[in-house]
Amino acid sequence: MYAWIFRNLPGPIWLRIIEALILIAAIVLLLMVYVFPWLSQFSPFTESTIGLNTP
C-alpha cells in the first residue's frame, strides 16, 4: 500500500520524498484538528465532572 503510493508519486526520488512528507503532515494535521476532536466525544477517558446534574 505505502510502497504503491510512493511509486506512483510524480517526480524524481528527492521530490517524491518531499511529497510523501507533505502528505504525512497533511494527514496528521487533519486528524489533530478535525478527526480527534470529533472522536473524543465518544471517549470515556476525559470526564472530570461529577453527579447526575451535568449536561
Partner 1 sequence: MNRVATAPGRRMTRQKPSAGNRILGVLGEILITLGILLMLYVAWELWWTNIDSANAQKQVTQNLVQNIGDVKIGDDTEEDIDYGPAPVAEVNPGETFGIMYFPRFGSNGSHHPVTYGVGRDVIDNLGIGYYPSTQLPGEKGNFAVAAHRQTHGQVFWDIDKLQKGDKIYLQTKEGYYTYTWYETEIVQPSNGDVLLPVPHEPDAEPKRSILTMTSCHPPFTTRLRIIAYSELTDWRPLEAGPPKEIREMVKDATS
Q: Can you give the binding site for partner 1, defined by CB under 8 A?
A: 1-2, 28, 31-32, 36, 39-41, 43-55
Question: Residue 10 or 55: which CB sits closer to partner 1?
Answer: 55
Taking the C-alpha atoms of residue 6 and residue 16, their distance in angstroms, rounded to an integer, is 7
Q: Which three cell numbers stand for residue 23?
A: 502528505
C-alpha triplet 28, 30, 32: angle, nearest 5°: 70
Question: Residue 4 or 14: which CB sits closer to partner 1?
Answer: 4
**CB 28 to partner 1: min, Å:** 7
Question: Residue 14 or 42: which CB sits closer to partner 1?
Answer: 42
| Phi (first) and psi of residue 53, to 5 degrees | -90, 30
